[in-house]
Amino acid sequence: MRYALLFPGQGSQRIGMGSDFRRLSPKAVALFDAASRMLGYDLPELCQNGPIERLSETQFTQPALFVASCAGLECLREMAEVRPFAVAGHSVGEYAALYAAGSFSFEVGLALVRERARLMQVAAQQRPGAMAAILGLDAEGVEECCRRAAPQGLVTVANLNSPGQVVVSGEEAGVSAATELAREAGAKRAVRLQVSGGFHSPLMDGAGEALAEAVANADLRDPDPGVVANVTARYCRSGKEVAANLRQQISGAVRWEASMRVLERDGVEQVFEIGAGNVLVGLMRRISPGIPAMAVDSEESLMAAGAALRCDD
């Protein structure tokens, strides 16, 4: 069976995330403990008990998601031989995908995620912004709304998630104008996202430039298998490409639908979303309903995924 591993991004965090992984696997416990030492706070306590308001702050959300995804992956590796055809991650989830592909160690990945989250938080404070999901309007229609809204304030397409789900990001006035224009153009809904900034927009350019130094100093190896990168929707197969993609990713659009089309084109027969929640499973069902998608975020789903992979051995 040709399968891919997917890793979720911001918005998938929830109270209790990673708890089953820690209960089932000493390796998962070790990753959470190592993360707590690196981060300087009790990550298992935050993930288990919250509060959700703190867990949803960018500086805490991104490390928590990375660690939960890595812990889930290690649980799965203890149950079966994990040999994906490809991996991909949505926004910060791309860091877990790179860990899965051996592009960097857990410690290097967590250090980069911690710095990314810090820089994005700072950028959001310096240049405040907003994000909104436009539902029921195609990408071209949303892009036109952004162009027409530009005189009101900076706004751009941030996430091309699936057919009929496009996220815009930018300055408050620009996002407000774009969402109103989208409604007039026939969008079914325009939903504000509960985020602290205008992520994946030029408001994050400063964060990307600052992250470049950390990326340049990191030990990055060629990923194996290939990682379908957010900013290009193409396979990334070298450490040099990894560095370039991570620098661009903070302010560039997440081309998720196009990334999943690459997997579909190349004959992927199953995808597993590892970490927290099932957002990417839902997107895959809208993008490629013929490809079975399974969320791996609990004991029950972990056992099912492990059984599926053992049958494939």
CATH code, 180: 3.30.70.250
Of 73, 33, 69, 99, nearest to 305 (Cα)? 73
Is 91 catalytic? The answer is yes
- The rounded distance, in Å, linking the Cα atoms of 279 and 308 is 21
Catalytic residue among 12, 19, 200, 259: 200
pLDDT digits (tens, 9 = 90+) for 259-298: 999 999 999 999 999 999 999 999 999 999 999 999 999 9
The answer to whether the CB of 70 falls within 8 A of the CB of 245 is no
Burial of 219 (0-12, 13-18, 19+ CB in 10 A): exposed
Answer yes or no: do 88 and 138 share one domain.
Answer: no
Answer yes or no: do 302 and 245 share one domain.
Answer: yes
CATH code, 221: 3.40.366.10
Answer yes or no: do 116 and 43 share one domain.
Answer: yes
167 inside domain: yes
Residue 300's CB is within 10 A of a number of other CB atoms, namely 10
- When divided into structural domains, the chain yields a total of 2
197 inside domain: no
pLDDT digits (tens, 9 = 90+) for 98-156: 999 999 999 999 999 999 999 999 999 999 999 999 999 999 999 999 999 999 999 99
- The rounded distance, in Å, linking the Cα atoms of 94 and 58 is 16
Is 19 catalytic? The answer is no
pLDDT digits (tens, 9 = 90+) for 212-228: 999 999 999 999 999 99
Of 96, 252, 226, 243, nearest to 169 (Cα)? 252
Please give the average per-residue pLDDT across 224-251, as a whole number: 96
Answer yes or no: do 188 and 218 share one domain.
Answer: no
Catalytic residue among 12, 91, 196, 301: 91
Range of the domain at 268: 3-125+202-312
313 pLDDT more than 80: no
* Amino acid 214: pLDDT: 94
- The rounded distance, in Å, linking the Cα atoms of 85 and 291 is 14
Please give the average per-residue pLDDT across 38-58, as a whole number: 96
Q: What is the CA radius of gyration of the chain?
A: 18
The answer to whether the CB of 146 falls within 8 A of the CB of 187 is no
The answer to whether the CB of 126 falls within 8 A of the CB of 160 is no
